[in-house]
Amino acid sequence: MTEHILSFGPANRLVGTLTQPTGEARATAILLLNAGVIPRMGPHRINVKLARELASQGFTVLRMDLSGLGDSLPSDATLTFEQQAVSDLKAAMDHLQRLTPVQQFALAGICSGAHHGMAAAIADERLKALWLMDTHAYPTRKTLWVRARRQLQLDFTGTVTRWAMKAVQMLTSRLHRGDARQHEQAELADTAYPTPTKAEFAQRIQALIDRQVRLQMVYSGDVFWRYNHSSQWRDAFRDHGAVATVPCDLVPDMDHTATTLHAQRRLIGSVTRFATLLA
């Protein structure tokens, strides 16, 4: 394989590393991007390892820094964070199409990378496949029961005490005309990305399904509080038709940033299995 540093986008502000196979390249190129504010190498260099593994299987891979992250300069455009990320990903695809014969793309994104990938796929039909890890999650009744059972197993007395105190606080809040919806929204809170309602999220997924975008959802063990049983995706979206059938894996022995070598092997294996089914 070969690797090159690229500058592209408006005024060449964006920076990425292009990893190419030595033999004939597959028709689909794969984009890897920042997870949160971590540079394009990825947490614990997982993007580097993943790009090289994918290249060994014939894929052209670009791991890139979004505007203002890693080696990429901030944009002077007045766009929101998500709009800028979509613009950056479009610039990356434009550049790869000029450099290579590739005409379609897949994306593997962790956390913020998953959110950006979905937004970009909705905006640009060149993105044909998405592997998304630890995106928005929607707890079901079973989720709450599994969570409660774990809490009781770990600390029965302390858990019961906390529940009692929480019940008193909720009752006091209601007596003072507190909005009960605040509690529900807190269950779904995402500090970096406002969580859409389940109906809104399902609508986005359905739009991708209608465009025949291939999807793979993955949830790590670190999001146990929000996603903790293998049927949760299907249960949560059972009233949303084809959305409920999207493949979704719970990988409890993999943490959010693939810290251990075991977790890294699990993540790389999941992405490569997904990628080998692409054109």
* pLDDT of res. 84: 95
With the C-alpha atoms ordered 33, 38, 39, 44, is the resulting torsion angle positive or negative?
negative
**Model pTM?**
0.87
Domains and CATH numbers, the chain: 2-139+197-275 (3.40.50.1820), 141-187 (no CATH)
- What does the block give as tokens for 86? 């979509």
Q: Is the dihedral of CA 186, 191, 194, 198 positive or negative?
A: negative
pLDDT tens over the chain, length 279 residues = 899 999 999 999 999 999 999 988 899 999 999 998 999 999 999 999 999 999 999 999 999 999 999 999 999 988 998 999 999 999 999 999 999 999 899 999 999 999 999 999 999 999 999 999 999 999 999 999 898 888 787 777 776 677 577 766 777 776 665 444 444 444 444 445 678 999 999 999 999 999 999 999 999 999 999 999 999 999 999 999 999 999 999 999 999 999 999 999 999 999 999 999 886
Q: What are phi and psi of 34, to 5 degrees?
A: -60, 145
**pLDDT at residue number 203:** 97
Q: Residue 131: what pLDDT?
A: 98
Please list, residue by residue across 205-243, b when 16 or more beta carbons sit within 10 angstroms of its beta carbon and e when fewer do. bbebbeeebbbbbbbbebbbebbbbeebbebbbeebeeb
pLDDT in tens, 45-89: 999 999 999 999 999 999 999 999 999 999 998 899 899 999 999
Virtual CA dihedral for 19, 21, 27, 31, nearest 10 degrees?
-20
Please report how the helices 261-275 and 46-56 are oriented relative to each other, as an axis angle in degrees rounded to 10. Answer: 40
Pairing of strands 104-110, 60-65: unpaired
Q: How close are the terminal C-alpha atoms of the chain, in Å?
A: 20
Task: Provide the sign of the torsion angle of the four alpha carbons 184, 190, 195, 201, taken in this order.
Answer: negative
What confidence score (pLDDT) does residue 272 get? 96
d(CA 20, CA 62) in angstroms, rounded, equals 9
Residue 201 confidence (pLDDT): 97
Cα 52 from Cα 2, distance rounded (Å): 9
Give the CA distances from residue 54 to residues 23, 61, 104, 131, 212, in Å, rounded to whole numbers and listed in that order. Answer: 13, 7, 16, 14, 23
User: CA 225 to CA 139: how far, in whole Å?
Assistant: 9
